[in-house]
Amino acid sequence: MTAVVNLDVPGPTISRHLYGHFAEHLGRCIYDGFYVGEDSALSNIGGIRTDLVQALRALDIPNLRWPGGCFADEYHWRDGIGPKESRPSMVNTHWGNVVENNHFGTHEFMQLCEMLGAEPYISGNVGSGTVQEMSEWVEYLTRSGDSPMSRLRKENGREQPWKVKFWGIGNETWGCGGNMRAEYFADLARQYATYCKNHDDNVLYRVASGARDDDYSWTETLMKSIGSLGGSPGPRDLYQATSFHYYTSAPTWENKGRATSFTDEEYDLTMAKAWRIDEIITGHSRVMDCYDPQARIGLVCDEWGTWWKAEKNTNPRFLFQQNTLRDALVASLHFDIFHRHARRLTMANIAQTVNVLQAMILTEGDRFLLTPTYHVFEMNKGHQDATLLPLHVIQDSARREADGLEFDAVSASASVKDGRVLVSATNLDLHDDARLRLDLRGGPWTLGEARILTAPAVRSHNTFDDPSAVSPQKFDGADRDGDALVVDVPAHSFVTVQLGLQ
């Protein structure tokens, strides 16, 4: 495999927000995950587990989306403020009909963000909320001067407003967020966005709930109606981005396979489906380009990742799944694709951070483990806010095929920041190693540290008894050959190589 990298021809900036996260009131993500309560025997600050926060800080999480997901559209923020004992409870109808006591609310979420060093991304309720409710939530969070909501916030112990940039207007409004038609939601998005005000110097980045998968007509409908005068994008856009969600599942969405036991054919199909996100981002971008050729409006993939059958003996609506090397390779592939689309794609959020779907961390009582996916986020964090160095891998072998979907076995991307180049390479092939030769042009460079994430099998995963079965190791398969960087990427592995620019 070969690729040319022009070190002196920079591409767009890879926003750090492509490495965003998502924490929903779902299963054990918040309760018995991040949040164990102040009375817990586990070390916590305000009920938030400090060991998890410490582990996650190593990822430089740029933003955290909350409170859903589907939960967001039945969440009423006023139920989650004030003394915990007087907060009303509700039923979480989407996720197991469990009773939600609202002990983790706005203040707790903002504290979690502060502890993580992440920016909040709040997903507001359109499906069952009101314009006034959403407008007042923005005011509560961000207004400094005297106002009914800033007074209420101060009464609840927070004098200074918070900074909140990212604001979601609804979630999956085509489905759990209200089963709306695009035309109807397009008007609601305009209306809600109008009343999500910029208070003081807080400037919102409003994200309209977008398409499912490849529903490009949803994106087109939103793009047609985004401008303040009803037309296409202009200086007074009502919202600044539109989103979409895409999950990877195999063999089919309706018949999801298991996280740890899957056939080689299912593995190939997983990778073919993961690759599809490239086509999907391209499709949404093309539509957006027609209305907004300068890419003023962002595309946000605020839910992505693998979705398998819940682990045996767990509540199926809690979406708790193990995480193997296969999941890690899905993640590294997504990042290469996200990097390539950095001009239009402004944010992405993996679903979800703890104990739900493609998680970074799984917990069991006081124990926790870091998943293979966690390690991809950590190994790739040097791409955050770096400048893309565009590259195209010319494959040695024919394209693979699974269920009519074609895909490539090897993927790579590169970026530069502060004189350091980071190269990431993924070999999806189950059996064959791949030699990747990067022809680096445009400046002298030195070879730095290389690391690898792999394991004897793609089904390998970390357990509470063996938490490091899949973890990054030092890698000696990268070398220079004249001006070329040659990386021997073993079968089913993910490699990162650092280079210094002189």
**Site for ligand AHR contains 73 (CB under 6 A):** no
Contact by Cβ (8 Å): 211, 244:
yes
How many C-beta atoms surround the C-beta of residue 449 within 10 A? 11
- Closest residue to ligand AHR, judged by C-beta, is 69
**Residue ranges of E strands in 238-379:** 241-248, 298-306, 345-350, 361-364, 367-370
No. of helices (H) and no. of strands (E), the chain: 9, 26
Q: At a CB cut-off of 8 Å and minimum separation 6, what does 327 contact?
A: 259, 305, 306, 358, 371, 372, 373
Q: Between residues 84 and 258, which has the closer beta carbon with respect to ligand AHR?
A: 258
Residue 218 token pair: 């949803």
Contact 423, 485 (CB under 8 A): yes
Nearer to ligand AHR, 303 or 327 (CB): 303
Dist. CA 418–CA 129, nearest whole Å = 45
98 neighbors 154 (Cβ within 8 angstroms): no
Rounded Cα gap, residues 245 and 231, in angstroms: 25
Q: Which residue, 24 or 268, has its beta carbon nearer to ligand AHR?
A: 24
Window contacting ligand AHR (CB under 6 A); options: 65-73, 270-278, 283-291, 377-385: 65-73
- Check if the beta carbon of residue 426 is closer than 8 Å to that of residue 380: no
CA–CA dist 26, 68 (Å, integer): 8
Judged by CB under 6 A, the chain residues 446 through 465 that form the site for ligand AHR are none
Q: Has 303 been annotated as catalytic?
A: yes
CA dist., res. 436 & res. 1, Å (int): 5
Give the binding-site size for ligand AHR (rule: CB under 6 A): 10
Using rule CB under 6 A, residue 24 touches ligand AHR: yes
303, 311, 401, 406: the active-site residue: 303
Q: Is 85 a catalytic residue?
A: no
Asked if 68 interacts with ligand AHR (CB under 6 A), we say yes
Query: Which of 32, 172, 268, 292 contacts ligand AHR by CB under 6 A?
Result: 172
∠30-33-36 over CA atoms, to 5°? 90
Pick 24 or 108: Cβ nearer ligand AHR: 24
Contact with ligand AHR (CB under 6 A): which of 171, 243, 285, 413? 171
Q: Is 351 in the site for ligand AHR (CB under 6 A)?
A: yes
Q: Which is nearer to ligand AHR, 320 or 445 (CB)?
A: 320
In the list 64, 70, 222, 393, the residue contacting ligand AHR (rule: CB under 6 A) is 70
For the record, the structure tokens of 37 come out as 């309560």
360 binds ligand AHR (CB under 6 A): no
Nearest to 309 by CA among 322, 294, 326: 322
Q: Shortest approach of ligand AHR to residue 411 CB, angstroms?
A: 25
Under 8 Å between Cβ of 270 and 308: no
Please, what is the minimum distance in Å from the beta carbon of residue 175 to ligand AHR? 7
Q: Taking CB under 6 A as the rule, does residue 371 contact ligand AHR?
A: no
Residue number with CB closer to ligand AHR (334 or 492)? 334
Relative orientation angle of helices 216-224 and 182-195, to the nearest 10 degrees: 50
Residue 369 C-beta: closest distance to ligand AHR, Å: 21
Distance of alpha carbon 204 from alpha carbon 220, whole angstroms = 23
**Residues contacting 492, CB < 8 A, separation 6+:** 325, 329, 427, 428, 429, 430, 454, 455, 457, 458
Q: Work out whether 69 is an interface residue with ligand AHR (CB under 6 A).
A: yes
What's the start-to-end Cα distance of the chain, in Å?
26
Using CA atoms, how far residue 500 sits from 38, 102, 385, in Å, is: 46, 49, 17
Nearer Cβ to ligand AHR (91/447): 91
324 binds ligand AHR (CB under 6 A): no
Q: Smaller CB distance to ligand AHR: residue 31 or 291?
A: 31
Looking only at the bridges linking them, the beta strands covering 2-6 and 434-441 are: parallel
Q: What residues contact 86, with CB distance under 8 A and at least 6 apart?
A: none
Residue 388: which residues within 8 A CB-CB, separation 6 or more? 10, 11, 12, 13, 14, 339, 340, 342, 413, 414, 415
Contact with ligand AHR (CB under 6 A) among 139, 268, 278, 303: 303
Instruction: Give me the catalytic one of 24, 172, 220, 378.
Output: 172
**Considering beta carbons, is residue 69 or 227 the nearer one to ligand AHR?**
69
Instruction: Answer yes or no whether residue 32 interacts with ligand AHR by CB under 6 A.
Output: no
Spell out, one character per residue from 114 to 143, where the chain touches ligand AHR: x when CB under 6 A holds, - when not. ------------------------------
Stretch of 48-56, 62-70, 141-149, 253-261 contacting ligand AHR, by CB under 6 A:
62-70
* Residue 108 interacts with ligand AHR (CB under 6 A): yes or no: no
Q: How far is the CB of 21 from ligand AHR (least distance, A)?
A: 12
Q: Which stretch binds ligand AHR (CB under 6 A): 33-41, 68-76, 153-161, 187-195?
A: 68-76
Active site residues: 172, 303
Report the interface residues with ligand AHR, using CB under 6 A. Answer: 24, 68-70, 171-172, 303, 351-352, 357
